[in-house]
Amino acid sequence: MTIQDSVAQKQSEVRIQLDRSVLHVLLDRPRKRNALDLTMIRSISRAIDGRPTDTRVVVISGGAFFSAGADIATYKRGDQGEIGEITRAAGAVIDTMTTAPIPVIAAVEGMALGGGFELAMGADIVVAGESAKLGLPEVALGLIPGWGGTQRLSAQIGIRRAKQIIMLQQTISAEDAWTLGLVNEVVPDGTSLNRALEMAHQLAASSATALAATKRLVSGIERNLAYSDERAALMELFGSPDGIEGVTAFVEKRPANFGR
């Protein structure tokens, strides 16, 4: 796909724009709070993998609501092949974000939950609106974060805090996320994208080789984490009684009964 400078194009529910070497990927599914289905994930992957050669920085945003995570409709269908495909694709696109030799910035407004939070954790820099909330609520569904969340959260804030946030399904404020080191800057609501783009253009004017080397070396600690073990555990949980009950209860808008 050819991307013309300053011309936004629609690819499924993801908008892509290249402006002065900064590639902006906008999640654009507001009626679903940017819940990520396989089509959206593939669109993000194509945007990053197929970026023009003069791309120096990628910015990912979601408008007023970053992302509610994986589209629960995919999980409700219970198709293990489909669930496995979206899990692999999501893990791969976040891995691409972390290994691409250019900076990736996430601009977070509203909420970044589940897979949305995992997507943000894959960015090199995160800018959040002051009312933004982040969290990994998968345990409430009888599942676990499976797009790198258990591993990256532990690497970024430490094992004890990661366990607490995941096990208790805690929602983190932007300010607390900044304190924990999950967010680089907290800005007034509605301005995270402007700040992210400002940073991006500053980075685009820097040495590409120095930025690539910095990213490779600083991010090296996350490269050998147990992502495959995490994904295998998630797939096992999808077929478990608790996983089936948790997803069904969420769709039916009732408390889950995990064998109590």
CB 161 within 8 A of CB 180: yes
Mean pLDDT of 86-103: 94
Residue-wise pLDDT tens digits, 122-174: 999 999 999 999 999 999 999 999 999 999 999 999 999 999 999 999 999 99
Separation of alpha carbons 133 and 168, rounded Å: 15
What are 8-11's contacts with CB under 8 Å, separation 24+? 11/43, 11/46, 11/47
Question: Would you say residue 3 lies in a domain?
Answer: no
Determine the straight-line distance between the first and last CA of the chain, rounded to whole angstroms: 52
CB 137 within 8 A of CB 113: yes
**Which residue type sits at 155?**
A
Separation of alpha carbons 118 and 121, rounded Å: 5
| Structural domain for 223, as ranges | 207-252
Q: Which of 69-78, 99-108, 230-239, 243-252 has the highest mean pLDDT?
A: 99-108
Question: Would you say residue 76 lies in a domain?
Answer: yes
Same domain, 163 and 238: no
Same domain, 142 and 236: no
Same domain, 218 and 193: no
On the question of pLDDT at 259 being above 90, the answer is no
Share of the chain above pLDDT 90, in %: 77
Residue-wise pLDDT tens digits, 29-65: 999 999 999 999 999 999 999 999 999 999 999 999 9
Separation of alpha carbons 116 and 135, rounded Å: 9
Band of residue 74 on the pLDDT scale cut at 50, 70, 90: confident
Mean pLDDT of 60-87: 90
Containing 99, the helix (H) or strand (E) segment is helix 80-99
Same domain, 163 and 247: no
Same domain, 114 and 163: yes
CATH code, domain carrying 172: 3.90.226.10
Same domain, 146 and 37: yes
- pLDDT in the model for residue 5: 38
By annotation, the residues acting in catalysis are 118, 138
Question: Would you say residue 258 lies in a domain?
Answer: no
